[in-house]
Structure 1
Amino acid sequence: MPGELVPDRGELRASHEDRDWAVERLRVAAGDGRLTLDELDERLDVALKARTYGELEALFVDLPADGPAPAGGVAAVSPKDMSRIVVDSASAKRDGPWVVPQRMGIESKSGSVVLDFTSAIIALPTLEIEASVRSGSVTLVVPPDVFVDVDDVAVKSGSVHNRAQPAPATPVRLRVHVTGKVRSGSITVRPPRPPRRSFWQWLLRRPRPMTAIAR
């Protein structure tokens, strides 16, 4: 309407997608050594509670690259050439809209690593993973359009299980090739678990909702 005040971009309301994208950017910055763990925890808390673009943009004033994604979509990202995950007795997880790199190195001594590709940002057709699992575990959660090959993993006294085989007619969006060795731990590939029913769905005995596949 004529004469109506238009708020600045920083005052516009952020969406769930904007907050998720900000969280992933902060995780990448911490992985690059730009943020300490305490700084990461503090900024993640702010990002998850942010209501406006201005609150999100304030989290990146001392970090390189662009600010939060514009309304209407996630900003374009460039996947890393190499990403490493090393856990001792702790745990690490990549889920939500995380950016899949070209190669990954995973070392799990006695902890656990989970890679959830359900909502991952996939810009490349292939991913090479070199895994070293002692007594820990590595779990890959893959939707139907992600194919995982674990035939080249050397197993000593542990286990490797692939419970996610895509249907022949399903187009493959990402091929994951896993190599490395498992001593007394495990590598497991499985499909996403069905979403939990809400209380009202359970009460009315409605079927579980279909799992959405990120495109």
Structure 2
Amino acid sequence: MPNDLPDMRASHEDRDRAVEALRVAGGDGRLSAEELETRVESALNARTLGELAALTADLPAAPGTREVLVIRQGGGKYVQDGRWPVPARIELRTQLCRVTLDFTQAVITSNVLRIDADMVHGKLFIVSSPGMVIDTSGLNLTFSKLKIRSRDFAADARLHVELAGTLLHAKVIERRSRR
């Protein structure tokens, strides 16, 4: 639900997704009947994606959102861009591959994303959005390079990306969105 711009106006579809996530949480017993009613009313009246994100931030990923995105590829390019649902975890298993993860229009449903990487002779481009922090402390690098700008921990980060795993003759490059 939350987009890279929390002040962006919410659509009817955005509100419907938030209400559905709240109803599922209520059915699972995560919200009391009173809290469910209050949050649904707030979701229906929400004007921005940030308001919707606040209503669902303490709930599991929205229905239809994959918990794990597995990227297995040898050679070529893999691009994830546009309005794609960001899962809680990405498994990145590539060889001789250029991977681009563009978060500028991504639908972010959680404030933490873990990327488990096993990259050999490749590049990972992360196109970051405002409020995004990338933590590379879990990476094991062998003849590899990092060009990350947003390493500083921020408690109020909208999305905290945890990179972990092994890179062999690989690069991770962060690019800032141009918006």
Per the alignment, residue 85 of structure 2 pairs with: 99
Structure-2-length-normalised TM-score: 0.62
Distance 1:167 1:106, change over 3 A: closer
Per the alignment, residue 16 of structure 1 pairs with: none
Distance 1:190 1:167, change over 3 A: farther
Write out the 4+ residue segments of structure 1 that deviate beyond 3 Å after TM superposition: 71-75, 164-168
Select 1:73's aligned residue among 6, 13, 16: 13
In 2, distance between residues paired with 1:159 and 1:90?
20
Per the alignment, residue 37 of structure 2 pairs with: none
What do the CA deviations read for 1:7-61 (whole angstroms, capped 9, x no partner)? xxxxxxxxxxxxxxxxxxxxxxxxxxxxxxxxxxxxxxxxxxxxxxxxxxxxxxx
Per the alignment, residue 10 of structure 1 pairs with: none
Q: Is the 8 A contact 2:129 2:176 kept in 1?
A: yes
Q: Does 1:140 align with 2:126?
A: yes
Distance 1:135 1:124, change over 3 A: same
Give the drift of 1:178. 0.6
In 2, distance between residues paired with 1:81 and 1:72?
24
The percent identity for this pair of structures is 22
Q: What is the RMSD computed on CA atoms of the aligned residues?
A: 2.1
Larger Rg: 1
Amino acid at match of 2:174: V
Q: Is the 8 A contact 2:135 2:151 kept in 1?
A: no
Give the drift of 1:175. 0.8
The structure in which a higher percent of residues are strand is 2
Per the alignment, residue 113 of structure 2 pairs with: 127
Select 1:172's aligned residue among 150, 157, 164: 157
Structure-1-length-normalised TM-score: 0.52
Give the drift of 1:166. 6.9
In 2, distance between residues paired with 1:159 and 1:133?
12
| Structure having greater relative contact order (Cα 8 Å, sep ≥ 6) | 2
In 2, distance between residues paired with 1:167 and 1:183?
26
Q: Is the 8 A contact 1:146 1:166 kept in 2?
A: no
Select 1:162's aligned residue among 144, 148, 153: 148
Give the drift of 1:90. 1.4
In 2, distance between residues paired with 1:123 and 1:147?
16
Q: Secondary structure at the match of 2:86?
A: coil
State how many pairs are aligned.
123
Q: Is the 8 A contact 2:73 2:93 kept in 1?
A: yes
